[in-house]
Structures are given as C-alpha cells and as structure tokens.
C-alpha cells in the first residue's frame, strides 16, 4: 500500500519545517505494509519556504512550486499528482503527533471495507507548539451526525484515492469551507465507510482564519450553509448552530 501525503504551503517558512520533519520522521519498519509518497505544493513563495524544504528534498517525491488560485486549488494539484492508494493532507501549520501515525493508519486500511480513517487532533499554541490549548476528540461516527454538528478533523482524515476519483476533489467556489463540503459530500451524502482511531494523529497551530473574528465566523456560517445546498440539502438552523457549539467542550479538556 502506498500512502500519498500532501502538504500545501505559501510563504510558510516559519512553520513548514515542523510539518516536513513530522512526515519524514514517520517510522516505516522493514516489512511494513505501506510506503510513503510525499508531495509538496507551494504557491510560489517569496520568503524562505524553499530554503526550509531544501534539506528534505530527497524525501519529497513531487514538488510543485507555482502560483495557484488558493488553498483548495493547491490541494487539487496535490490530488492530481498523488499515486497512492490512500491520501492524507497535512497543512504547513500542522504536524503529526508522533512517528507512529502512518503505521497505525496503514494497519486500519488493511481492512478492504474501510474507505477512510480518522483520529483526534490537538490544537497547540502558535508560539509554543508543545502547549495544548484545545483537544478535538472526534469520536465514532454515527449516521446523520453531520446534522448534529459533527465532523472529523480534516488534517487527521485519510481517504482512499478511489473516493476522490469517484466523488471529486475540493470545490473552489468556497473560500474556507471546501474541506467541510468535501467531508459532507463523501460521508453524509455518499456514505463513505469510516474507521475511527481513538488517538491523537495531528497537532495544529491555533489561530484559524474562520474563527479569527465575528465577521469571519459569520462568513464561515454562510459557507457551511452553501456546502449543504451544494449537496442538495436544506440545512436546519440547528445543524449550523451545533457545529461551532460542539467546539466548546474542546476548550474544557486541556488537561
């Protein structure tokens, strides 16, 4: 089994090193049931992003560095370049929790009835990545959970590439919710079969754009509504309200 990991970046010199090190540091024992293909898609950075990447260039199977139309255009470029049976996406601000993440993910994919594997995510302080500020415990998926505000953490979600071929990639008509729309489409609409790993897979630096201000939160709310409509559903006000409310317990479980 080949696992294709995609990192998209633009002027990410300050954080990219942690992401790349966490990928290249994954433990792949002799005889492991998987191999790694690492793809980096850069939007034509003008800072020292390429200098940060240089020491790891031999570990990067495919490097694309050119202007793009935004985050989701870059992700789609990565998907087009991927050759693995399984695809994971790790943003430049994120890093894997430990060296055994991919081994555990690969083990779960040995079950042919599994379309996707996901786990938990910790938000960490942007200046001190060792400090956890929020814990996202995803829990086992139950049918209809999206209507109750549930979603898996996208950086901790690994999907068979056949699902992308069947149901498509990221829509570029959404500015910040295309990952939510893709998961809604794959899981809620098409019934993608999930396997939950009850352990932390990814650390993400806190400070996402969609939650940066009330204005950004309202825009994210509108995009969530559009995501439902794009998939032929009329979302209930409860479903859209429940999505941000489900985050509250994450702040109460920092210890």
Residue 9: name the closest of 51, 117, 28 by CA.
51
Segment (H or E) for 248: helix 248-251
Helix 214-230, helix 237-245: angle, nearest 10: 130
Instruction: Name the pLDDT band for 210 (thresholds 50, 70, 90).
Output: very low
Domain boundaries, the chain: 2-251
> pLDDT for 32-83, tens place per residue?
889 999 999 999 999 999 999 999 999 999 999 999 999 999 999 999 999 9
Q: Which residue has the tokens 């794959």?
A: 186
Count Cβ atoms below 10 Å from residue 12 Cβ, excluding itself: 22
Confidence of residue 220 (pLDDT cuts 50, 70, 90): confident
Which pLDDT belongs to residue 251? 62
Mean model confidence pLDDT for the chain: 91
pLDDT score of 249: 65
Give the containing element (helix H, strand E) for 122: strand 116-124
- Does 203 score more than 70 pLDDT? yes
90, 5 Cβ separation under 8 angstroms: yes
Question: What average pLDDT does this structure show over 206-214?
Answer: 57
pLDDT band, very low/low/confident/very high, at 250 (cuts 50, 70, 90): low
Q: What is the pLDDT of residue 255?
A: 46
The region of weakest confidence among 84-88, 172-176, 248-252 is: 248-252
Question: What is the C-alpha to C-alpha distance for residues 73 and 70, in angstroms, rounded to an integer?
Answer: 5
Q: What is the pLDDT of residue 68?
A: 94
Whole-number pLDDT of residue 110: 97
pLDDT(128) > 70 = yes
Average pLDDT over residues 190-206: 97
Give the burial string for 169-199 (b: 16+ CB within 10 Å, else e): bbbeebebbbbbbbbbbbbbbeebebbbbee
Q: Is the pLDDT at 219 greater than 70, yes or no?
A: yes
**From CA 83, how far away is CA 96, in angstroms rounded?**
21
Superfamily of domain 2-251: Spore Coat Polysaccharide Biosynthesis Protein SpsA; Chain A (3.90.550.10)
Predicted local distance difference test score (pLDDT) of residue 240: 67
How far is residue 69 CA from its own chain's centroid? 19
């Amino acid at each position: 089994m080949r696992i294709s990991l995609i990192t998209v970046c633009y002027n990410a010199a300050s954080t990219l090193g942690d992401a790349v090190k966490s990928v290249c540091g994954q433990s792949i024992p002799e005889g492991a049931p998987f191999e790694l293909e690492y793809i980096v898609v850069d939007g034509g950075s003008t800072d020292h992003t390429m200098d940060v990447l240089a020491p790891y260039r031999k570990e990067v199977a495919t490097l694309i560095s050119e202007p793009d139309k935004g985050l989701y255009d870059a992700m789609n470029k990565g998907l087009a370049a991927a050759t693995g049976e399984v695809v994971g996406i790790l943003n430049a601000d994120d890093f894997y929790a430990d060296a055994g993440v991919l081994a555990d993910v690969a083990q779960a994919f040995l079950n042919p009835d599994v379309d996707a594997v996901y786990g938990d995510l910790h938000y960490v302080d942007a200046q001190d990545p060792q400090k956890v500020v929020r814990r996202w415990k995803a829990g086992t998926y139950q049918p209809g959970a999206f209507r109750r505000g549930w979603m898996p953490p996208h950086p901790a979600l690994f999907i068979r590439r056949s699902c992308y071929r069947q149901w498509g990639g990221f829509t570029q008509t959404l500015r910040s919710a295309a990952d939510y729309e893709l998961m809604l489409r794959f899981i809620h609409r098409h019934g993608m079969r999930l396997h939950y790993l009850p352990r932390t897979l990814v650390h993400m630096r806190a400070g996402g754009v969609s939650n940066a201000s009330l204005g950004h939160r309202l825009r994210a709310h509108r995009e969530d509504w559009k995501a439902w409509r794009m998939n032929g559903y009329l979302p209930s006000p409860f479903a859209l309200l429940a999505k941000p409310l489900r985050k509250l317990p994450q702040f109460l479980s920092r210890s």
